[in-house]
Amino acid sequence: MASIIESGWLYLITHFSDFQLACLGSFLLHESVFFLSGLPFIFLERAGLLSHFKIQSKNNTRAAQERCITRLVLYHLGVNLPVMIFSYPVFRYMGMRSILPLPSWKVVATQIVFYFILEDFVFYWGHRILHTKWLYKHVHSVHHEYATPFGLTSEYAHPAEILFLGFATIIGPAITGPHLITLWLWMVLRVLETVEAHCGYHFPWSLSNFLPLYGGADFHDYHHRLLYTKSGNYSSTFVYMDWIFGTDKGYRRLKALKNGQVEESRKEL
């Protein structure tokens, strides 16, 4: 398996420049993973399939879904791509490389874990700041236009927020200067996580059912349903920051209430 990956990587670095791979390659990878993982949830909602796993009964209109997609394309081309291009010298300066040999799986795993921990910390505080009155009204309210989120709404946000919270995603790699393949893996995992958190469905196979402290769709959907001053659940991937600072109390109370009602129903049966 390792030899196959190395052969594929050798082809890439032979036929494309470091700049092309780091900027254009990263952009194309991001767009592919984001839309391929997010679009199925639009089709599920439109077709009414797996509706018993849907967290909210309300559906978005076709017009709202199409508006989201149109603006996402504009944001990605107008904000994400330029950021990737202009941040390239910084990553190169910090040691990012694309040449062989590829890093060991231990190095990759260690860096990815570090990125998740750091991203959770920075994202939590940045997200919480965005829920202050002025910033919510003028910036973060764009993301909350969709009280019933679906996968693609994960990156639907004001351009200022894209830059503000995007910093949480890139700070880890910027500090460590990883191999490009590590950066790509981190990007894929982060995109899949945030799409899943906004998908609007809680499946039996959802990661939050198996990974302790993992947020997932049910956790983040609560955040979108409530008023900005009372929502809580500001965390990104893992929920320990909300637990430490008590900003998930409303969500925990609701879960306890629902679990109690389920137990009562079972007793009656």
The answer to whether the CB of 247 falls within 8 A of the CB of 255 is: no
Residue 110: pLDDT over 60:
yes
Residues 77-97 pLDDT 10s: 999 999 999 999 999 999 999
Which residue has tokens 């750091």? 118
With a CB cutoff of 8 Å and minimum separation 6, the contacts of 109 are none
Q: What is the pLDDT of residue 231?
A: 79
The answer to whether the CB of 16 falls within 8 A of the CB of 175 is: no
Distance CA 117, CA 75 (A): 27
| CB-based burial label for 105 (10 Å; 0-12, 13-18, 19+) | exposed
Q: What percent of the chain has pLDDT over 70?
A: 94
Residue 262: pLDDT over 50:
no
Helix axes 159-176, 105-130, angle to 10 degrees: 150
Residues 15-59 pLDDT 10s: 999 999 999 999 999 999 999 999 999 999 999 999 999 999 999
Residue 247: pLDDT over 50:
yes
Residue 117: pLDDT over 50:
yes
Q: What percent of the chain has pLDDT over 90?
A: 88
With a CB cutoff of 8 Å and minimum separation 6, the contacts of 68 are 146, 150, 152, 153, 156
Residues 214-245 pLDDT 10s: 999 999 999 998 766 667 999 999 999 999 99
